[in-house]
Structure 1
Amino acid sequence: MKSITINGSKRESVGKKATKALRNAGQVPCVLYGRDAEPLHFSADEIAFNDLVYTPDVHTVEIKLAGGEKIDAILQDIQFHPVTDAILHVDFYQIQEDRPITMEIPIHTVGVARGVKNGGVLRYNLRRLKVRGLAKELPDFIEANVTKLKIGQKLYVTAVESEEYTIQHPDNTVICQVRTSRNIVALDEEDEDEVPADEVPSTETDDVAAVKEGEDS
């Protein structure tokens, strides 16, 4: 997984006045958790978070503190101003090589669904998957092949299982599905035939088995 660097300075004071002064100076107060010692309080330039926050990609972070200390971490939580959307506070969690972490990884679909070719529309229920695994084994994105999906079929999270991570969603969570539209074209004989179950892993046509949209996302 790609990593970005954020340069920061340890904070001597964590009171409200000191925090306000940091923000006025264009700094963001941060806390690093997951250490054997107490949480580490530091600050960094607000502009340093652009490549971490305002992107669809996911990254790990190398925090470089004044004095030479370097810490590998992941973004855990971020708070924004309700009006200006300025970053108010950021929480990080320290990465340890032998301990799994939980992250939301983007989903990239591959191929054109069979049902879309016949006039259906591909609808997404999830854009990211919450997975757990060792940081060094987590991918930049997760590929979901939709090529064999026919109209009415759904792709479930079980279709993208991997030994590198554990999916933190129920097995019946839907990633995407092909729905009907006004532009349905006549199906040819090949498409009218049933698709063998082993050709469409983790998909179903029974709407009862589908997860409510967004319920598990």
Structure 2
Amino acid sequence: MKTFKLEGTPRTDLGKKAVRELRKQSLIPAVLNGGQIVELPFKGKLNAGEKLVEMENNKGIIVTDFTVSKDSVRKLVYTPDIYAVELTIGDKKVMAVLKDIQFHPVNDSILHMDFLEVNEEKPVVMEVPVALEGHSEGVRAGGKLSLSMKKLKVKAVYTNIPERLVINIDNLGLGKTMQVGDLHFEGLELMNAKNAVVCAVNLTRAARGAQAKGN
């Protein structure tokens, strides 16, 4: 997976008025989840933008609010690629992945971004683009290839997640489908339903005609 460098500014004023002012300045409010888990009551010191969210069993997790500029995230958002984000917020540097984006319902401007801190030990769930390779025998016989799932949901440590899930379709016959359960990728757990169809070679009128003549 490629790496994307992003710089953010800690955000301490979380009110609605402050958010409106940020957006006027072409800044986007964002949050970093998945931070350090601590015992409560917390006796340490929180940095600018950090807050403590209470969990169960007398534990809490440190969440960071920050802002990024619209220009800085353009190539991260408007792309089919996925990235590991080298995120710098003030003096804090972490690796993260983009988990969610909220868009304005009318003009599609970015309203909010959610990032998740990652490391080389804790698995993360991400959607990864699918890339088909090879020459299907069903297409050679006159069928039409269709890709039903352009992305698959995988679970793995972020360092094991590839830029693409490459699927060979050489042996995909006429009228046949390839399902999630047919696929295996080393170091990855596929999270989609096993019977979900990823791609298929559909019968065309010409292929049906050729089959009929052959019979």
1:30-179 alignment to 2 at 5 Å? 30-36=30-36, 37-66=61-90, 68-179=91-202
**2:210 is paired with a residue of what secondary structure?**
coil
**2:146 is paired with a residue of what secondary structure?**
strand
Deviations 1:168-214 (A, max 9, x none): 02221211000011232736xxxx8xxxxxxxxxxxxxxxxxxxxxx
CA displacement at 1:54 relative to structure 2: 0.8
Runs of 5+ consecutive residues of structure 1 not aligned to the other structure: 193-217
Alpha-carbon distance in structure 2 between the residues aligned to 1:45 and 1:149: 46
CA displacement at 1:16 relative to structure 2: 0.4
CA displacement at 1:136 relative to structure 2: 0.8
CA displacement at 1:38 relative to structure 2: 2.5
For residue 204 of structure 2, what is the amino acid of its counterpart? S
CA displacement at 1:69 relative to structure 2: 2.0
Q: Is the 8 A contact 1:144 1:159 kept in 2?
A: no
Alpha-carbon distance in structure 2 between the residues aligned to 1:124 and 1:177: 7
Alpha-carbon distance in structure 2 between the residues aligned to 1:48 and 1:160: 36
**1:47 is paired with a residue of what secondary structure?**
helix
TM-score by length of structure 1 reads: 0.82
CA displacement at 1:151 relative to structure 2: 1.2
For residue 16 of structure 2, what is the amino acid of its counterpart? K
Equivalent in the alignment of 1:9: 9
TM-score by length of structure 2 reads: 0.83
Q: Is the 8 A contact 1:156 1:176 kept in 2?
A: yes
Alpha-carbon distance in structure 2 between the residues aligned to 1:69 and 1:34: 14
| Overall identity of the aligned pairs, in % | 35
Aligned-residue CA RMSD in angstroms?
A: 1.5
Alpha-carbon distance in structure 2 between the residues aligned to 1:95 and 1:134: 8
Q: Does 1:27 align with 2:27?
A: yes
Runs of 5+ consecutive residues of structure 2 not aligned to the other structure: 37-60
Q: Is the 8 A contact 1:143 1:160 kept in 2?
A: no
Deviations 1:120-171 (A, max 9, x none): 1111110111000111111111111111111110111233312311000222
Alpha-carbon distance in structure 1 between the residues aligned to 2:129 and 2:107: 27
Task: Say which structure is richer in strand.
Answer: 2
CA displacement at 1:88 relative to structure 2: 0.4
Q: Is the 8 A contact 1:123 1:176 kept in 2?
A: yes
Alpha-carbon distance in structure 2 between the residues aligned to 1:64 and 1:73: 10
Q: Is the 8 A contact 1:142 1:160 kept in 2?
A: no
Deviations 1:35-83 (A, max 9, x none): 12421000010111111111111111111123x3211111111000111
For residue 26 of structure 1, what is the amino acid of its counterpart? S
